[in-house]
Amino acid sequence: MNPDLFPALLAGPMIRRLESSQVYIWVATSKDYEITAEVYEIISSEEADNYTKLASATDTSTIQFGKNLFIHLLKITPNSNKFPTNQIIGYNLHFQNKKEQFDLEMLGLLKNNNPQSIVYDSLKYPTFFIPEKSSEFSAKFLFGSCRKLHGEGEDLLAKGDQLLVDNSRDISNRPDALFLMGDQIYADDVADPIFYLINQFGKALMGVNEDLVTVDKRLANYSSALHKINARKDIIKDMASLSTRKGSNHLIEFGEFAAMYLLAWSPILWEIAQEGNLYESFDNGFEKGHFHLKLTRATDKLKKLEKTQLQNRFTEQEKLINGCPTATYKIRRLLANIPTYMIFDDHDITDDLNINADWKEKVTQSPLGKHIVANGLAAFFAFQGWGNEPQVFKDAFIPGVKEYFKDLCGGNTEASYKEWIALIMEHQPWHFVAPTNPRAVFLDTRTLREYDDKPNTTIIEQLVKERAYPPQLVNEDEYKSITKQLQSSGWVERDPLIIISPTPVIGFDLIEKAILQFLPTIEILGAHVQTIFDVEAWRYNGKGLTNFLNQLSEWNPGNTVVLSGDVHYSFSATANFTFSDEKEMSVKQITASPLKNMSFKNFGTLMKITTALKQVLQQEFIYRFCDLSYLIQDTDKKSLPIEDFLWKEQLHYAQIEGKSIIETDNTLGEITFFEDRVENRFIK
């Protein structure tokens, strides 16, 4: 692919961390530019909008990740030390190098009623506002996770754009921020129709082939097949020691991760593919030899069967991905107008990431597996993590990243590779506190897990092999670090608090029990229990859940809401906890089903009927307690222990729209904090 096809702007602008004293904006370009921002206070009246330029300074940090890929993070600070609050503020970006200069308007992004526009209503610029809490304004947040480009169902992230269409000037109803809670991309599950595109775009962005043979010499035997569709499943399993079950097109090279992010958040690569006629039909790709066939020595009948199966999969995925180009225009506009905070889960890097100690050890000891995880984390930093809390990426981190990718672009990473792998794999923290009101704590439940203590859960003890038991999702070091971050953020006891946990802290009781009941049968059949059922929910490790509840009790917030995704169904629950010292605490858990990856299809209706029937047959509340050995036990109200327990729980699931206590369709969550209550809804 000719890299000259890349326009100047590849993705963005995207508003990231937003505070009254500073705003961060993320941009991806194909060339190096000096970028400056202009900001305007917008006062609207019946006659017209009045734009007053605000004196400000722009400090731009740039990292060249590829010959044609530059990531910029702009820090805009007002000369007055504080931006106006509860007021719409517009911004424009100016790009300049030795050969050219332009702004967002010259790129055609500020034209109203244009599909490429990133502005709302009749406003001149993309906008943001900095909320200042008062009785007059409630706090409203959007949240979601699990967005697979070829996932089933409508892309609900695009629905967030419609909310801003309807409320672009009305800050009392306009969302304060967007929380993306994991699986923003699916690096381990890539659709056949876009894999060839991703590979070509990745090479063009980097301008050089990533020499994987230096990572693992055995890959020399796969040089002709490595970049073909359907070729990577055995490589991922046998050479990288990864456990994903859909790894036939697993991302490996950094350029591939970058291309996937650009396809997820921007229409630019979709436009290039369309205008450059880069899309391939199945027949065209098959004729050119772009597919890897496993049955090359089989009978003609088996070869034909394999081709038919590949064609059927390709055709089905092609239908599912068909709406992505159109949706990305809306998503780009949404991200240009709302501060967005993001944390990874497993699919951003690979399915089952660090699911247990055995998995982590095997992958760490695999050069290719470690390389893939490092590339996934580096891509997370570049496209997600950098804008969350930029000040934590300092000291040796940024220079180390720059040095490695400079060497990579030069075609020789021998001098910096080992240092870069260590830098990425050992970096902390990935967790952070968003400066929203209420404050939002984003937990890293993947890289700081605790594997040392075996949970006293009888069924799991009987089934799983040594060191393969469910982990504590957060360790003591992360709690200590978050406590310091909370304190420095201005948060104090009795303030409300939002916890972002990619997987629900309070799960859906019926389904979590059902998984445990199925485990003996699955184990007898010889399947790997943990990776099939993702046996890593908080409740599967009683000590880990207890440590979280104890930490939350020490923080002592006035109102606690946990937002989650991951499990592919929506529900809302309230849990009232009583500890052994008689202290009480209430936690509201809100879990959103995927933004685009509806997983249950017709089974979803059955789930709703089953849970509704269960709700009718049982009492309104579920009662549980954790004994002194960290075993979580079900009981009834009369049988709750008076002593010899760590905590007791009364759990209630709320109905969604007065119908069912569970929703399996794709949703975008919306939560609103009022002075005296919290309301949530699931947008479908």
**Using CA atoms, how far apart are residues 291 and 193, in angstroms rounded to an integer?**
11
User: What average pLDDT does range 70-94 have in this prediction?
Assistant: 96
Q: What is the DSSP letter of 134?
A: B
Distance of CA 43 to the CA centre of its chain: 35
pLDDT the model gives residue 47: 80
The strands making up 340-342's β-sheet, listed across from edge to edge, are: 340-342, 177-180, 139-144, 668-673, 678-683
pLDDT the model gives residue 515: 56
Q: Are 221 and 347 in contact (CB under 8 A)?
A: no
Specify the pairing of strand 560-564 against strand 584-591.
Answer: parallel
Name residue 176's amino acid.
Answer: D
pLDDT the model gives residue 540: 87
pLDDT at 601 over 90: no
Residues counted in the chain: 684
**Using CA atoms, how far apart are residues 285 and 248, in angstroms rounded to an integer?**
16
**Using CA atoms, how far apart are residues 97 and 499, in angstroms rounded to an integer?**
42
pLDDT the model gives residue 224: 80
Domain segments of the chain as ranges: 431-684
Pair of tokens at residue 346: 């497993």
Considering only residues 138 and 581, tell me which one the structure prediction assigns the higher pLDDT. 581
**Using CA atoms, how far apart are residues 428 and 423, in angstroms rounded to an integer?**
10
pLDDT the model gives residue 520: 47
pLDDT the model gives residue 18: 97
Give the chain's end-to-end CA distance (angstroms, integer). Answer: 39
User: What average pLDDT does range 310-338 have in this prediction?
Assistant: 97
Considering only residues 466 and 631, tell me which one the structure prediction assigns the higher pLDDT. 631
Per residue in 121-149, pLDDT (tens digit) is 889 999 999 998 765 678 999 999 999 99
Averaged confidence pLDDT in the chain: 90
pLDDT the model gives residue 138: 87
User: What average pLDDT does range 430-446 have in this prediction?
Assistant: 97
Per residue in 603-630, pLDDT (tens digit) is 555 555 555 555 544 568 999 999 999 9
Q: What are phi and psi of 18, to 5 degrees?
A: -130, 120
The 3 state secondary structure assigned to 551-598 is HHHHHCCCCEEEEECCCCCEEEEEEEEEECCCCEEEEEEEECCCCECC
pLDDT at 93 over 60: yes
Distances (CA, A) of 627 to 357, 516, 579: 25, 19, 11
Residue burial 614-636, b: 16+ Cβ < 10 Å; e: rest: ebeeeeeebbbbbeeebebeeee
**Using CA atoms, how far apart are residues 248 and 236, in angstroms rounded to an integer?**
8
**Using CA atoms, how far apart are residues 353 and 447, in angstroms rounded to an integer?**
8
Specify the pairing of strand 56-66 against strand 9-19.
Answer: unpaired
Among the ranges given (6-10, 296-300, 439-443), the one the predictor scored with the smallest mean pLDDT: 296-300
**Using CA atoms, how far apart are residues 326 and 36, in angstroms rounded to an integer?**
29
User: What average pLDDT does range 626-639 have in this prediction?
Assistant: 93
Pair of tokens at residue 427: 């970096």
Per residue in 494-535, pLDDT (tens digit) is 999 999 999 999 988 777 665 555 544 444 444 444 444 456
Considering only residues 299 and 260, tell me which one the structure prediction assigns the higher pLDDT. 260
User: What average pLDDT does range 297-310 have in this prediction?
Assistant: 89
pLDDT the model gives residue 529: 42
Q: Quick one: pLDDT band at residue 467, thresholds 50, 70, 90?
A: very low
pLDDT the model gives residue 657: 81
Among the ranges given (84-93, 326-335, 447-456), the one the predictor scored with the smallest mean pLDDT: 447-456
Q: Is 571 buried (19+), middle (13-18) or exposed (0-12) by CB count in 10 A?
A: buried
Among the ranges given (41-45, 130-134, 326-330, 550-554), the one the predictor scored with the smallest mean pLDDT: 130-134
CA angle 434, 351, 243 (to 5 degrees): 150
pLDDT at 229 over 90: yes
